[in-house]
Amino acid sequence: MADDTVFDKITDIHDQTIAMLRALHIAPYPSQYKIYFDKIFIEQADEALKNAKKEDESLVQLNYGIGKYLDIAQRSVIAFVETHADISHVARMQTKYLTHGSIHQGERCADLVGGLTTLGEDMSNELKKAQAKIDELTIELEKAAAEITTDPLTQVTNRKGLIEDLEKVIDAGQSKQLPVVLMMIDADNFKSLNDTHGHVAGDKVLYFLAQSIKSIIRTGDKVYRFGGEEFAVVLNRCDYDKVFEIADNIRSKIEHKHLIYSGKTIHVTVSIGVTVHHNKDSFDDFIARADSALYRAKQDGKNKTVLID
């Protein structure tokens, strides 16, 4: 969908929202506006517009995360400069004190020892304060970085995180084949599920799938939300003769899990495409091979696992 088309449709929904609020004599506070905007959006938006909205919301979330990260980084630099300015000030004061101390040799020696002792204590205190501040800001930076690569709905790593992680794999695998496995996992009949149970239920299903996959794989392996109802899994240090067994175990366990929503049982299955890392794979090669396996699993009737080596 072209950007102009999206803009026109969203503007039209905005106009309808304002008109409805005015007709109902409801003040357009952000909370009230959102309720009626979302109601009209759900009734009128087609799939293309819904996808555009998700992309925009993801971009806003990413920009917020980056902004927060940069703010913390800036504060880290300022704190570092201020702390080291304090240490430099202590050193300058002690140097001045020692240089202009008593002219008598004995007194000067005593002054030197005392001055150096004080200098050491002052420096130690300033360094402790600096380290405490650095530790505090390091924790904040790590949290901010994690937020940038975390999908807010499913609470697993997002596509940006997958790209960053796979780029490391690709770089390391230019000269050799690595024991790394990539799975692409797609929820079967997700549109039908959304139409039957509603979009809130659809969101619950995505969270359910992400957390189910995460609970099945090993601690050192990772699950990512690749986009829409599609997830990716990267397995490290995996024996090739066990690749299909591991992937199909994920498919089977999800098939036999049940999600209860609003008193109703929602049965979900997934199709899985699997591939292994090849020497000199590019990022696109790796993803495309897993996608081809996933496409074949869908073509074979869904709720299937297909391995392309």
What pLDDT, in 10s, does the model give residues 190-206?
999 988 888 889 999 99
Average pLDDT, the chain: 81
* pTM, entire model: 0.60
49-74 burial: b if 16+ Cβ within 10 Å, else e: beebeeeeebeebeeebeebbeebee
Report the chain's terminal Cα–Cα distance, integer Å: 36
pLDDT of residue 1 exceeding 50: no
Angle, alpha carbons 214-216-222 (nearest 5°): 40
Domain of residue 241, CATH code: 3.30.70.270
Single residue among 121, 148, 175 that ends a domain in this structure: 148
* β-sheet bridge partners, residue 266: 259
In a domain, 57, yes or no: no
Banded pLDDT at 116 (limits 50, 70, 90): low
Q: Classify residue 205 by burial, with Cβ atoms within 10 Å: 0-12, 13-18, 19+.
A: buried
pLDDT of residue 36 exceeding 90: no
The amino acid sitting at 257 is: K
254-301 per-position pLDDT tens digit: 999 888 888 888 999 999 999 999 988 998 999 999 999 999 999 999
Looking at the fold, whether 127 and 192 belong to one and the same domain comes out as no
Question: Is position 229 annotated as part of the catalytic site?
Answer: yes
Q: What is the pLDDT of residue 3?
A: 60
Banded pLDDT at 42 (limits 50, 70, 90): confident
Single residue among 148, 173, 203 that ends a domain in this structure: 148
The amino acid sitting at 156 is: V
Residue 271 lies in domain: 159-308
In a domain, 34, yes or no: no
In a domain, 6, yes or no: no
Single residue among 148, 171, 190 that ends a domain in this structure: 148
Q: Give the integer Cα–Cα distance in Å for 251 and 248.
A: 5
Query: Which candidate in 55, 229, 245, 255 is catalytic?
Result: 229
